[in-house]
Structure 1
Amino acid sequence: MNGMHVSPHRLRRAARTLAEGGIVAHATEGVWGLAADAFDADAVWRVIAAKQRDVARGLIVVAADSAQLAPLVDPDAGAAWQRAVESWPGPTTWLLPARAGAPQWLTGGQPTIALRETAHALTRALCGEFGGPIVSTSANVSGRPPVDSPWRARACFGDRIDMVLGGRADTPGRASTIRNASTNETIRG
């Protein structure tokens, strides 16, 4: 299985780390990411602080299946939601109309939320073992290139991350495409 090069024990430990409010560095489709429980405000704020990222930019939320993401989407999203679901699983992150009350730490206070049903085997397994959606944002300090290995993740973030899961990217160096699901416009190619 591509991207899946960790033991079941480490996968369970990573899911437990997320459930306990921790941050896990892990491989994703194209780059290394920092993961946290999407609904744990304290954990997500730790990610934002570690990245030195402006909260107004919002964060990407990934899941093992679209049902884990549906509660974050405006129920009236209709065609936009359908467009996203039909493209998943895959490396495309869709900006979708956010449900009223979606956490501001995810939306950045914007009317949209960035969601992806990942095709990366390890990230899917992590979301499945954890049992819900996770923030998965590139493992880098804002404005710098993402790290590309477990040891670089540890060197860059030190004790600001609680675990390095491992794995490898499917398409190293290529971040996910971001598209607006309402307009089909490509935001990041």
Structure 2
Amino acid sequence: MTARISDWRMDHVAKQVNGGAVIAYPTEGVWGLGCSPHSLSAVSRILKLKNRSWDQGLIMVASSIEQLKPFLTGLSDEMRDQLERDWPGPVTYLVPDNGCCPLWIKGTHDSVALRVSSHPVIQDLCQRLNSPLVSTSANPTGRVAAISPLQVRKNFPAGIDAVVPGTVTDRRSVSEIRDLNTGKVLRTRNSG
């Protein structure tokens, strides 16, 4: 957890992310790959590492709803209430795109995948960045998601600029994905 990570180290990782780095870090359930959502080159590197198409889109995680505010304008009160009930936590919502999200994040979708994480490493890093972070599981497409830093290194022997110390905090499964418009669960915590 971040209690064991020095401020200097976390500041250094934040500077790396702002400079276009690709990092690996623990989340609630599995290890993730991340970068700044503002860096097309870093997002492209993640997609290449995972052998994933850009049109699938990526998740953005944040430390607070406030950090996601630009992507939440135009939502109904009921939708906002739903987000506030489930966040922070391991639930990703597909939120209708209001035109604010870059194409390289949302892919070909008319929605944006967003989550406010309860994980202390993500909380700390996003606060230092004052920005959301791209988040995708640390595995090549079609392989099992990493649940340890060792598995991250095995999955990606090269191409990651930093591995943030920490551990997963929950059931070792990917986040649930729900459509905010319909309430439909598109991925459960046990799938991946």
Q: Secondary structure at the match of 1:124?
A: helix
1:26 is displaced (CA, Å) by 0.5
- Write the distance in 2 (CA, Å) between the matches of 1:101 and 1:89: 22
Equivalent residue letter for 2:86? S
In structure 1, the residue matched to 2:43 is: 44
Identity in percent = 34
Secondary structure, in 3 states, of the residue corresponding to 2:122? Answer: helix
1:110-161 Cα deviation digits (max 9, x unpaired): 1001000101111111111122011011000001001121122123212311
- Assess, with a 3 A threshold, how the Cα gap between structure 1 residues 149 and 15 changes in structure 2: closer, same or farther: same
Q: Deviations over 1:17-56 (max 9, x none)?
A: 1011001100000000001001111111111111111212
1-side partners of 2:109 and 2:168: how far apart? 29
Aligned to 1:53: 52
What letter is aligned with 2:74?
Answer: D
State which drifts further: 118-127 or 101-110: 101-110
When normalised by structure 2's length, the TM-score is 0.91
Moved more, 154-163 or 50-59: 154-163
In terms of mean alpha carbon deviation, does 178-187 or 83-92 score higher?
83-92
Structure 2 unmatched runs, 5+ = none
Q: How large is the RMSD of aligned CA atoms in angstroms?
A: 1.5
**Partners of 1:99 and 1:182 in 2: how far apart?**
13
Displacement of 1:100 in angstroms is: 1.2
In the alignment, residue 39 of structure 2 is paired with which amino acid? D
Corresponding residue of 2:155: 156
Question: How many residues matched?
Answer: 187
Equivalent position SS for 1:12: helix
Which digits, 9 at most, give the CA deviation of each residue in 1:77-109, with x for residues without a partner? 223233213321111110000121421111112
Alignment deviations for residues 163-184 of structure 1 (CA, whole Å, 9 cap, x no partner): 0112000114211111111111
Does the aligned pair in 1 maintain the 2:70–2:100 contact within 8 Å? no
2:110 maps to a residue whose letter is: P
When normalised by structure 1's length, the TM-score is: 0.92
Q: Is residue 2:69 matched to residue 1:70?
A: yes
